[in-house]
């Protein structure tokens, strides 16, 4: 089963499985194609996090690990370089607004990319197919072209949001962007038009032959550095050559009778674990799904988790993240009591959220599973002439104010809400979930977990159910939350912000075991893709 936000990418993953590949091959093939057909959501110059679960077969040991490939700030970064430019902060905490938008678009907004190295390491360590075969579908889509899908075009034309640069300005920031994304008359490509990117196809052929080294220390690296030097970028040859992914154990917690594994900081798994530690103290099923009591309780837990994240969570190599205290049973019980007593969390902002990310879930016939969220952040708009890919714009989420958990520093990884998550019952994998959606990712993933576990919904129902969020002092609700419910919450003094979208707060994708057979080769899986996007789930 493969579930992802782009049908073309899902098919590439399924084709990898049919060719004898495993879940890792499928996930990486899917990710590489997604970077071609959803080019502002992810790509080889992006970042992300993946969780791999590979139960041992033929006497081999189990593998259960996460790879963190967040982008790192360039080595020339200084803590106070933008302090004098601060204009404000987005309401949901996704990032900071600076005079001139220098952290949002352009050469200064780029962190050292991690995606290319993570894709290569994961596939060559744990995949079963030749690396070049896994890259091949992405090359074909780049060279032959793909029809622009509604979700891609919708992001292109949504205009400026929350003070950020208009998306079309990102697309036309470089001459390459004008050539790739616009017609000869200067008009933006429309839904259904074919987008071809032969430059990206040639780049992918180079990494298919030379692996990740071609990108980080080879001829591609030389072209990247030359472009940065010519245009005032901070990214250097040393930054590229010195970049390393971080492999390690997942962050583990329990919820009800399940063991939950997610990712370590600077990823957002800590927020999922924080929320579940608090919410385990409530009988959510008895409250009723999306009832007034349920929304009141869950959103307060969201606010406490957000406040703790803002105060304490950052790159563990730079910040002492108090995981033991934040995720302790005592602290969870303390916050639950505050919620019961009516005490409301305060999430202050200096002043919501673009879904500039994507996700893939895979489970194969041997029970191997991968869940990976990968992104460009707010894409920088920068495309080096002849290379075809857009760089991430991840500098925009660092806090430009010195002395904080998210402040700037050379070589630092920014916090993100990425939280590829799995859940196990009695040692057997039961759920594989994850989502794009910026700050809302942890909120969307947690709600799907609650829907699946507390309300025993099938995975499709769990994903389709209306969602809400609270990453500030307001409660944001999708348009399918009944007005009678929000009217009562408003009467209690809650600030309610109704979104026009029926599907909002992350685009969750998931796979769930639908049979009790403990043999992974006999298990039956069901999958679903969030209907707010263009994706699908496909089984073989």
- My answer on whether 324 and 204 are in the same domain is no
Counting the structural domains of the chain, the total is 2
The residue among 159 and 319 whose pLDDT is bigger is 319
Bigger pLDDT: 90 vs 191: 191
> Residue 402: inside a domain, yes or no?
no
89 with 165, same domain: the answer is yes
Task: Say if residues 25 and 127 touch (Cβ distance below 8 Å).
Answer: yes
**Domain containing 501: what range?**
248-352+418-538
Q: Does a structural domain hold residue 404?
A: no
Residues 183 and 315 in one domain: no
**Residue 370 gets which letter from DSSP?**
E
Q: Percentage of residues in the chain with pLDDT exceeding 90?
A: 85
- Residues 255, 242, single domain; the answer is no
Residue 353: predicted pLDDT:
40
pLDDT value at residue 162: 56
Per DSSP bridges, beta strands 421-425 and 468-469 are unpaired
| pLDDT of amino acid 514 | 86
Beta bridge partners of 498: 477
- Cβ(359)–Cβ(507) below 8 Å: yes
- Note whether 443 and 531 are same-domain residues: yes
pLDDT value of residue 91: 55
Identify whether residues 183 and 263 lie together within a single domain.
no
Residues 141 and 86 in one domain: yes
Q: CATH number, domain at 257?
A: 3.60.20.40
Residue 369: inside a domain, yes or no? no
Distance separating alpha carbons of residues 408 and 286, to the nearest angstrom: 45
CB contact at 8 A, 233 and 103: no
Largest Cα span, the chain: 63
Least confident span in 69-83, 95-109, 431-445, 509-523? 509-523
Mean pLDDT score, 250-268: 97
Give ∠ CA 537-518-251 in degrees, rounded to 5.
70
361 inside domain: no
Instruction: Name the residue among 534, 369, 355, 263 with its Cα closest to residue 13.
Output: 369
If asked whether residues 104 and 173 sit together in one domain, one would say yes
225 and 104, same structural domain? Answer: yes
Q: Does the structure show a pLDDT above 80 at 59?
A: no
Dist. CA 433–CA 449, nearest whole Å: 8
Mark whether 94 and 203 lie in a shared domain.
yes
Report the C-alpha gap between 47 and 49 in whole angstroms: 7
Query: pTM above the 0.85 mark?
Result: yes
Domain for residue 405, yes or no? no
Task: Name, in order, each residue with C-beta under 8 angstroms of 8's C-beta and a sequence gap of 6 or more.
Answer: 33, 36, 37, 141, 146
Chain segment 22-41, per-residue pLDDT in tens? 999 999 999 999 999 999 99
* pLDDT value of residue 354: 45
In a domain, 412, yes or no: no
Return d(Cα 37, Cα 94) in angstroms, integer. 25
* Residues 6 or more apart in contact with residue 516 via CB below 8 angstroms: none
Q: What is the CA radius of gyration of the chain?
A: 22
pLDDT in tens, 437-486: 888 999 999 999 999 999 999 999 999 999 999 998 999 999 999 999 99
Asked if residue 208 belongs to a domain, the reply is: yes
Q: Is the pLDDT of residue 95 over 90?
A: no
What pLDDT does residue 506 have? 95
Q: Across residues 362-372, what is the average pLDDT?
A: 95
Entry field: residues in the chain: 540
DSSP letter at 113 equals: P
- DSSP codes of every residue in 422-471: EEEETTEEEEEEE---GGGHHHHHHHHHHHHHTS---HHHHHHS--EE-S
Question: What is the rounded CA–CA span in Å between residue 370 and residue 526?
Answer: 15
Residue 418 has pLDDT above 60, yes or no: yes
Question: In the predicted model, what is the mean pLDDT of residues 109-133?
Answer: 98
Task: Specify if 436 maps to a domain.
Answer: yes
* Element of type H or E holding 66: strand 63-68
pLDDT at residue 351, as a whole number: 42
Residue 360 confidence (pLDDT) above 60: yes
* 323: three-class secondary structure by DSSP: helix
pLDDT at 209 (0 to 100): 98
90 and 208 both lie in a single domain = yes
On whether both 19 and 77 belong to a single domain, the answer is yes
> What percent of the chain has pLDDT above 70?
94
Mean pLDDT of the chain: 93
């Amino acid at each position: 089963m493969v579930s992802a936000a782009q049908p073309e990418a899902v098919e590439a993953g399924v084709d990898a499985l049919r060719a004898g590949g495993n879940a890792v091959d499928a996930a990486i093939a899917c990710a590489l194609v997604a970077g071609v057909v959803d080019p502002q959501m992810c790509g080889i110059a992006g970042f992300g996090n993946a969780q791999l679960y590979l139960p041992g077969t033929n006497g081999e040991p189990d593998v259960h690990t996460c790879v963190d490939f967040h982008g790192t700030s360039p080595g020339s970064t200084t803590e106070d370089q933008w302090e004098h430019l601060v204009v404000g902060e987005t309401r949901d905490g996704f990032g900071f607004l600076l005079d001139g938008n220098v952290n949002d678009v352009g050469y200064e907004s780029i962190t050292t990319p991690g995606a290319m190295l993570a894709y290569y390491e994961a596939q060559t360590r744990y995949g079963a197919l030749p690396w070049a075969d896994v890259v091949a579908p992405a090359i074909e889509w780049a060279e032959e072209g793909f029809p622009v899908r509604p979700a891609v075009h919708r992001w292109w034309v949504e205009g400026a949001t929350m003070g950020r640069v208009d998306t079309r300005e990102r697309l036309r920031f470089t001459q390459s962007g004008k050539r790739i994304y616009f017609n000869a008359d200067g008009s933006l490509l429309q839904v259904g038009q074919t987008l071809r990117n032969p430059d990206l196809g040639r780049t992918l052929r180079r990494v298919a032959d030379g692996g990740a080294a071609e990108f980080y220390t080879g001829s591609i690296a030389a072209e990247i550095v030359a472009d940065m030097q010519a245009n005032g970028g901070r990214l250097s040859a040393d930054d590229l050559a010195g970049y390393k992914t971080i492999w390690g154990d997942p962050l583990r917690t329990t919820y009800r009778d399940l063991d939950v594994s997610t990712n370590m900081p600077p990823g957002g798994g800590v927020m999922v674990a924080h929320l579940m530690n608090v919410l385990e103290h409530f009988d959510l099923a008895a409250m009723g799904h999306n009832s007034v009591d349920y929304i009141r309780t869950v959103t307060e837990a969201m606010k406490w988790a957000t406040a703790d994240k803002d105060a304490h969570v950052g790159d563990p190599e730079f910040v002492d993240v108090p995981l033991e205290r934040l995720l302790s049973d005592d602290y969870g019980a303390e916050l639950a009591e505050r919620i019961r007593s009516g005490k409301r969390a305060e999430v202050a902002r200096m002043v919501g959220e673009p879904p500039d990310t994507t996700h893939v879930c895979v489970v194969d016939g041997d029970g191997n599973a991968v869940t990976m969220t990968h992104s460009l952040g707010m894409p920088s708009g920068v495309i080096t002439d002849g290379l075809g890919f857009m760089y991430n714009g991840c500098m925009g989420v660092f806090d430009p104010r010195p002395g904080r958990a998210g402040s700037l520093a050379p070589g630092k990884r920014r916090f993100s809400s990425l939280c590829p998550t799995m859940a196990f019952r009695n040692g057997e994998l039961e759920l594989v979930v994850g989502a794009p959606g910026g700050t809302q990712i942890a909120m969307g993933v947690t709600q799907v977990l609650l829907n699946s576990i507390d309300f025993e919904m099938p995975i499709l129902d769990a994903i389709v159910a209306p969602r809400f969020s609270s990453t500030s002092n307001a409660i944001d609700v999708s348009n399918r939350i009944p007005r009678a419910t929000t009217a009562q919450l408003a009467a209690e003094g809650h600030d309610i912000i109704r979104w026009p979208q029926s599907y909002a707060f992350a685009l969750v994708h998931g796979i769930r075991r639908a049979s009790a057979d403990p043999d992974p080769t006999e298990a039956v899986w069901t999958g679903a893709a969030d209907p707010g996007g263009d994706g699908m789930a496909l089984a073989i």
